[in-house]
Structure 1
Amino acid sequence: MADDQMSSVIQTVEAVKPRIIIAASGSVAAIKFEILCRCFTEWAEVKAVVTKSALHFIDKASLPNDVTVYTDEDEWSTWKKLSDGVLHIELRKWADAMIIAPLSANTLAKIAGGLCDNLLTCIIRAWDYSKPLYVAPAMNTLMWSNPFTKKHLEAIRELGITMIPPITKRLACGDYGNGAMAEPSAIYTAVRLSFPKGQ
């Protein structure tokens, strides 16, 4: 192979961006969702999934223009007949990895119990666990230290889900303690450092 052909192949391989779903569940930490999406868009092709409760904290118009946002209402809107694609399956097939940030106590419990009652949890239930899946929990300190949370974290660890731990700081409710979502830059760094090499 000639040097210029080899150079072209290398540039093509380098230009391929990983495909990442970034999802938000219902936590006040979802106010940082726009920043999180912007952290990833230069490195990856990003699609966003937001739950109904996350929409209380997210202005969809503020997200980067190249990020498509999916909500629960989109799950069945394009499905008309048996041969049509199902959104949660199509997104799962498309993605090389998924990040849920923030992961609320409620969505953590749903994932640990195998529930799939919205677009986000349907994607997780259909997830191919040979692909990386990261979560960044965000909840009140007492919710974080609740015995159920420990059980739920053990359950998702068994699935192979990687947790980016919460941090200790003054929370939105005014309490000081552990349970705040890791900063978007820290989430980005954790994903990049653990992501399969070559991507």
Structure 2
Amino acid sequence: MARFVADQNRIEGSAHVLLVVTGSVASIKVPLIIQELLSYNNVKIQVVATKPSLTFFNAKKTRETGTNVWVDEDEWDPNYKIGDPILHIELRRWADIVLIAPCSANTLSKIAHGTCDNLATSLLRALAPTTPTYVFPAMNTLMYDHPLTSEHLRVVKEVIGYHVVGPVGKALACGDIGLGAMTEWKDIVQIVVDRFSLRKPAVEVGGS
């Protein structure tokens, strides 16, 4: 993929949505989130996908919608030289809002500890504190109930200042029933719609 430069990809008047996708089964909802967001006027999306997340959604098909899907291998060009754009920095400069949907237990732990061992966590560590960032946890109920999870969520909310939404209770992909499922994808989209007062294109009514 061509090198990404924020200034060359920001469009005045548009909402620039950065979707970070991590290794949860709920990543199967990513195409629905993207499709619905793109049905609104003036929305641009960039996706950052961790390697485990690619098990659950097809990055190639997502790219066919015109939406970039960035992965770890895109971060550093073998021919990089000082002064070249750095992907995780350019993406955070580009973003008006960041959605971590879904946020796995693993990525939640990494965020809380400040780990930067992939494109997604490097981007989040470099993110300006003024960029609104929403975390949508998704994991097995016992993983969510683990005492470390509540501590990680506390750090993410109280120290880093991210908005945590969910999880919700339902039948999970593993067969368990309980709290841990990602917030409904339509509700995730609605957060962006409300924040930027998005509108869908007017429907033309044909004459007789």
TM-score bracket, shorter-length normalisation:
0.7 to 0.9
- The one-letter code matched in structure 2 to 1:130 is T
Deviations 1:29-72 (A, max 9, x none): 11111111112223320000100010111111332522111000
Aligned counterparts, 1:1-199, within 5 A:
16-43=13-40, 44-63=43-62, 65-77=65-77, 80-158=80-158, 159-193=160-194, 195=195
Contact 2:22–2:107, Cα closer than 8 Å, also in 1: yes
State the alpha-carbon separation in 2 of the partners of residues 94 and 42 from structure 1.
21
RMSD: 1.7
Higher deviation after alignment, 167-176 or 78-87: 78-87
Contact 1:79–1:86, Cα closer than 8 Å, also in 2: no
State the alpha-carbon separation in 2 of the partners of residues 90 and 130 from structure 1.
16
The list of structure 1 runs, each at least 4 consecutive aligned residues, that deviate by more than 4 angstroms after superposition, is: 196-199
State the secondary structure of the residue aligned to 2:109. helix
**Equivalent residue, structure 1, for 2:7:** none
Higher deviation after alignment, 164-173 or 184-193: 184-193
Q: Which runs of 5+ in 1 are unaligned?
A: 1-14
Contact 2:15–2:196, Cα closer than 8 Å, also in 1: no
State the alpha-carbon separation in 1 of the partners of residues 78 and 47 from structure 2.
17
Contact 2:23–2:52, Cα closer than 8 Å, also in 1: yes
TM-score between the two structures when normalised by the length of structure 1:
0.87
State the alpha-carbon separation in 1 of the partners of residues 136 and 173 from structure 2.
16
1:129/1:198 CA distance change after superposition, 3 Å: farther
1:37/1:196 CA distance change after superposition, 3 Å: closer
Aligned length: 184
Q: Which runs of 5+ in 2 are unaligned?
A: 1-11, 200-208
Measured after TM superposition, the shift of residue 198 of structure 1 is: 8.5
